[in-house]
Each structure stands twice: as C-alpha cells, then as structure tokens.
Amino acid sequence: MRWPVSVGKEKGDFGKGVSNFSEDNLMTTSAQPQTDRPNPAVIAAQNDAFRRFACLGIKPDQPIQGRLVVTQSMMEAGDGFVNAAVQAVGAFDTFEPENDPEGWHDFGAVEIQGETVFWKVDLYEADTDFRYGAEAPDDLETTMRVLTIMMARDW
C-alpha cells in the first residue's frame, strides 16, 4: 500500500495536502496520565505492611495474602543467620529512588554478619498457583504476595 506523501517547498509546509494529516492526530512528547495504573504509594504501603507482618509479626490493618520464603543457601547459613535476616528485612525502611525506582517498596538489601542479603516481593494473581503476575496489584483480594529472602549470590 502506498501512503500519500506531500513535501512542501517552504518551511512549515510539511504535510499540507495530505488528506489524513492533521494537528489532532500527531503524537506528542508530553506525558499523558495513565488512570489505569495502580497507585505506587498504595502498593508500597501494602508491601511494607505485608513485610512487617511476615517478618516481625506486626498485624496489618486489613488481611494481606502472601507467604515468606527463604532460599536454600539462607537455610544453610543457620537459624541464627536466618532469624537476623528476617528481622532486618522486616525493619528495612531505607527506600530511595535509586533502589526503589517504581516506588513499590518491593526490593531491598541488608547486611547480615558481613553477607549481603537481598529480599524481594513478587505480586501474583491469587488462585493461579503463582503463574501470573497480579493484574490489579493494589487489590488485596486478588493479589498474592511472595516475599523471598536470599543471599546476594543467589540473585
């Protein structure tokens, strides 16, 4: 298919005479609000509440579905190491744009006995056996959280 093309001879004449060209259908470089995107502040608050509950036993204001898992190498480090890591992950609150670009509070790193320990929160669609990411990650009824704590070398 050939597209109609018209190149003007004078500056500012580009597009004149093309039937489907208008100012209304030009792409813009300005950001357009996306109303269907979840609010990062809501997800961050939910992730923080879940992490504090899973690691520190601090009950959230409303039920949050999820589970806490640790990797094999964490288990091999011993119960004392795992307990210290879980406590540190639960208390973590050092979120900066560099380590939390989306603002979801879903990843962090702590230092335990000279070892770097990573943690992350993944959000899944509930009732899918952890196969699909959450369609509405800020909806507590349809989202299942998994908090994974691992050695940095596991990453």
Please list the pLDDT of the chain residue by residue as tens digits (155 residues): 444 433 444 444 444 444 444 555 555 566 655 567 899 999 999 999 999 999 999 999 999 999 999 999 999 999 999 999 999 999 999 999 999 999 999 999 999 999 999 999 999 999 999 999 999 999 999 999 999 999 999 98
Q: Is residue 67, in this structure, part of any structural domain at all?
A: yes
Contact 115, 123 (CB under 8 A): no
Instruction: Say how many domains are in the chain.
Output: 1
Q: Which structural domain range is residue 47 located in?
A: 40-154
Q: Is residue 88, in this structure, part of any structural domain at all?
A: yes
Residue 146 phi/psi, 5-degree rounding, is -125, 115
Q: Is residue 25, in this structure, part of any structural domain at all?
A: no
Q: Name the helix (H) or strand (E) containing 110.
A: strand 107-112
Query: What is the number of other CB atoms lying within 10 angstroms of the CB of residue 143?
Result: 23
